[in-house]
Amino acid sequence: MFAVEVQDHIMIAHSFPSEVFGPAQGLHGATFTVNLAFFASDIDKHGMVVDIGLATKVLSEVLEPLRYKNLDELEQFKGKFTTTEFLCRYIFDQVLIELKQGKLADDSRVEKLTGQLAGELHGQGMV
C-alpha cells in the first residue's frame, strides 16, 4: 500500500457552549494543522499515487471557507460543537465530495483516504 500526504492549516475562532468544555466554553481560537493522506495499492506509470499538486489544491479549496473565520457564524455549523473531532470529519467529508467530482483527474488510483486534524494538547480532539 502506498500513501501520499499533503498538509495545510487554518486559524479559526469558535466557542463550545456547554459546561462539558470547562474553560474552553467561551469564544477563543485555534491554529489547526490538517493532514490528508491518499492511499493506493500500486503506483501509476509515472511512479505516482496521485498528482500532489492537485491533491494540495483540493485540500486548500476545501479549507478556504474556514480560513480566518469565526466558525460560530458559519451556517453549516449552526447548533454544532466544532470540536477537533467534528471538524476532522467535516473536512474529510468535503474532500470526498471534491474527489467524487473528479478533481484529482480521471486516472487517479486513490482507493482509500485518511484525514487528521492536529490541534492542541488541552483542546478537544486529536493532538
Q: Write down the least CB distance from residue 88 to a second copy, Å.
A: 7
Summarize as ranges the residues that interact with a second copy (CB under 8 A): 2-7, 9, 11-14, 16, 18, 20-31, 43, 46-49, 51-53, 56, 67-70, 73, 80-86, 88-89, 119-127
Quick one: 103 or 125, whose CB is closer to a second copy?
125
- List the one residue out of 52, 56, 53 whose CA is nearest residue 43: 52
Which lies closer to a second copy via its Cβ, residue 83 or residue 94? 83
Shortest CB 98 distance to a second copy, Å: 19
DSSP letters spanning 28-68: EEEEEEEEEEEEESS--TTS-SS-HHHHHHHHHHHHGGGTT
Instruction: Quote the least distance from Cβ 125 to a second copy, whole Å.
Output: 6
Distance CA 37, CA 114 (A): 5
